[in-house]
Amino acid sequence: MRRRAWLLSAAGAAGALVVGWGVMPQRSRLGSAGLMVPKAGDVALNGWIKIASDGTVVLAMPRSEMGQGVYTALPMLAAEELDVPLSAIRIEQAGSDTIYGNVATLVAGLPFHPLDAENEDGFGRVQASRWVVGKIARELGINATGGSSSVADAWDVVRMAAATARASLLGAASLQWRLPAEELSVRDGVIRHASGKSASYGEMARFASATPPGAVRVKDRKDWKIIGQPAARLDVPSKVDGTAVFGLDVRLPGMKYAAIRLCPMLGGSPGSVRADKALAMAGAERLVLLPAYAGSTAGFAMVGKSYWHARQAAQAVEVDWRQRPRGPLDSRRIEAELEAAIKTSEGHVFYDKGDPAAQEDKAARKVEAWYRAPYLAHATMEPMNCTARVAGGKVEIWAPTQVPQMARAVAAQVAGVPLDDVTIHLTLLGGGFGRRLEVDYVAQAVRVAMDCGGAPVQLVWPREEDTAHDFYRPMHVAMLRGSIDSQGGVTSLRIKSAGDAITPRWLERGMPALAGPVDTPDKTTAEGLFDLPYGIANQHMEHVATHAGVPVGFWRSVGHSHNAFFSESFMDELAAETQQDPVEFRRKLLKGAPRYLAVLNLAAEKAGWGTKAAAGRARGVALHESFGTIVAQVAEVSLEGGKPRVHRVVCAVDCGTVVNPNIVAQQMESAVVFALTAALYGKIDIHDGVVQQGNFPSYPMVRLAQAPLVETWLLASQRPPGGAGEPGVPPLAPAVANALFTLTGKRHRTLPLSS
């Protein structure tokens, strides 16, 4: 893996064409029929599509369902090309072959300005880089659900796989009936001819498996019947009737339960452990010490007859906890260090245009502001859990994970068995948000199972442990400076930020063979700062990547989640300084970015911008692009008891081609509530190495009665799909903060806003 990754990276960096890569990326990922799990009566036509004897279409599902609707969106792509109703599609967990790797998320990691691909100077460079990285990504085949990339990644390959299967089925019918293929039609999975001949896909599948597809083209969008139409989610019925299986729903014969307890000090470890009294409690069975697996803090797990028995016994264990060797972590000290880094350290320059320094020297006015964002936990509704069985040299795991390959790999490593001896069953995820891109809880479950004599064991993290031992969104600080000339025009924008880089830490934990040096530029640190669409002639954006020692990881919308708060709040500051309406101010700066302007205009129109808000309320606006999707939000805010109350959020969205408008609207609603929780309450404080927040009373969520009305308006687009799960998060905090400024005259530059 290490050697292959290095060779491919070197070849890509040199712009070399690797023999055999080809020029059709979707073709290279179709795979062979042998990759589909054989079942009686099923006939595989490629690595993605099988046909059952009853004509049902089976789609290989390489992504995790964590509420984002991928179990519906990807079947819609297949149903469209195969001309079958959506109800005729069922999914099957994909295998581990590289064809199922997530290419789109790696390509999206390239640090290009979004307007580079839209002008003549940058188009060729951007396209060439994306092509090379796409080829590398296909070779690596890293299967991960994240980056709002599931539909974007499947867009070409699933449609092509389904269209190829359809061509083979039609070709088989043509040969069997000795009729021209162009005279055949398909409706609802039945092949027909004007002569009256007909056959279902199930009847023709065996012949199709031996029939080359010939020339294959996906449908023209004018012929779509399913893509773009609202469709009910396929995963909802099972979630309503209780048959859906999340990680915590797994039940196996003879299963034991384990509750985890980790050192309260991040990076610490247990000293002496006194468990006699705990093991004497009813239902308690054994204690298993746990080292620091996959970046976690060390601790132990107590095994019991039920989770309640295990949890009570774990709490009764007496432990002398030890601080980490490098001393305790403290979030207040880290914040001061980030501010000092901005003032004294040189960062990586992600974007530089014109001469901001010269403009600052001759500016009529200068605006400078410091913004801060705290550590945040993921707080998924389903705490971390994994069920594992280790017996006869084999490992079997049932895991709600976003990275099944990494979960298998860490299970094999902990158990000391070959990778082929590990079987993973992917369950539904009760929330992911990036937390389940980590595999610490999988490693812990396998280690506990190794001590349970072949019995399956379900390891569950209590909520308090989940909050106190997360892989947090990093704390970031930014200094923003703008220059204004004598005519009130903004002539320069300079942004310098500091905070931990996530990607190097994640690679070190999960894929050390691909991990680079500590100071490797990580796009996630500066996304949402270096890639702004505004037509300011002189810009300079740099980031100082730090390594504070707090475990950090990907959090829903990653760097955009805080950087949009910095940049869009500061854009409002510049509008106020130049005495311009915030929407009009942005419109002037978006003349060279028509897609962004259209999204802003739609949000302003639907929110009634320019009309008077209800008494005691004010509106704030923010515009941001992330994961290939542009979102503008207008938030209507008041104060209740001195605290912000958000009544209404209008979202305008350009996410490229919309596969299912219902799902996009659901994701905007979900993102607004998620982001509002963080904007109003989210904060992790660390003192003497100990996280101060625990369960929801100290790490609160937005309640139903506090949730705003969310309206979603979609712009039509001919572009391939962008993301939907994360892009609704970044604009919310600045939109609310900007509304609060209009309401109170006070500028909020530190999250959470309620503080």
Task: Give per-residue burial for 282-306: e unless 16+ CB within 10 Å, then b.
Answer: ebbbbbbebebbbbbbbbbbbbbee
Per-residue pLDDT at 21? 43
Per-residue pLDDT at 198? 97
Residue 366 near residue 360 (C-beta atoms within 8 A): yes
Closest CA to 437 of 145, 7, 694: 145
Residues 305-364 have pLDDT tens digits of 999 999 999 999 999 999 999 999 999 999 999 999 999 999 999 999 999 999 999 999
Contacts of 248 (CB under 8 A, 6+ apart): 382, 383, 385, 430, 458, 460
Q: What CA–CA distances, in Å, run from 520 to 104, 251, 545, 608? A: 21, 44, 9, 45
* Concatenated DSSP letters of 673-734: HHHHHHHHT--B-EETTEE---STTTS----GGGPPEEEEEE----SPP---SSTTSTTHHH
Per-residue pLDDT at 119? 65
**DSSP annotation of 48:** S
Residues of the chain with pLDDT under 50: 1-23, 518-519
Instruction: Say how far apart CA 280 and CA 594 lie, in whole Å.
Output: 70
Task: Go through the domains of the chain in sequence order and give each one's CATH number.
Answer: 31-102+141-241 (3.30.365.10), 247-325+384-460 (3.30.365.10), 331-376+472-744 (3.30.365.10)
Residue 649's DSSP bridge partners are: 635, 710
Instruction: Say how far apart CA 555 and CA 377 lie, in whole Å.
Output: 8
Residue 448 near residue 454 (C-beta atoms within 8 A): no
What H or E segment, with its residue span, contains residue 602?
helix 594-607
Residues 516-541 have pLDDT tens digits of 654 468 999 999 999 999 999 999 99
Contacts of 20 (CB under 8 A, 6+ apart): none
The angle at the Cα of 217, spanning 216 to 218, to the nearest 5 degrees, equals 130
Per-residue pLDDT at 135? 87
Q: What CA–CA distances, in Å, run from 439 to 378, 410, 472, 566, 715? A: 15, 7, 14, 31, 38
Classify strands 89-93 and 57-61 as parallel, antiparallel or unpaired: parallel
What H or E segment, with its residue span, contains residue 399?
strand 394-399
Per-residue pLDDT at 13? 39
Instruction: Say how far apart CA 166 and CA 158 lie, in whole Å.
Output: 12
Contacts of 416 (CB under 8 A, 6+ apart): none
What H or E segment, with its residue span, contains residue 635?
strand 629-640
Residue 77 near residue 162 (C-beta atoms within 8 A): yes
483 in helix, strand or coil?
A: strand
- Let me know if 337 is exposed, middle or buried by CB neighbors in 10 A (0-12, 13-18, 19+): middle
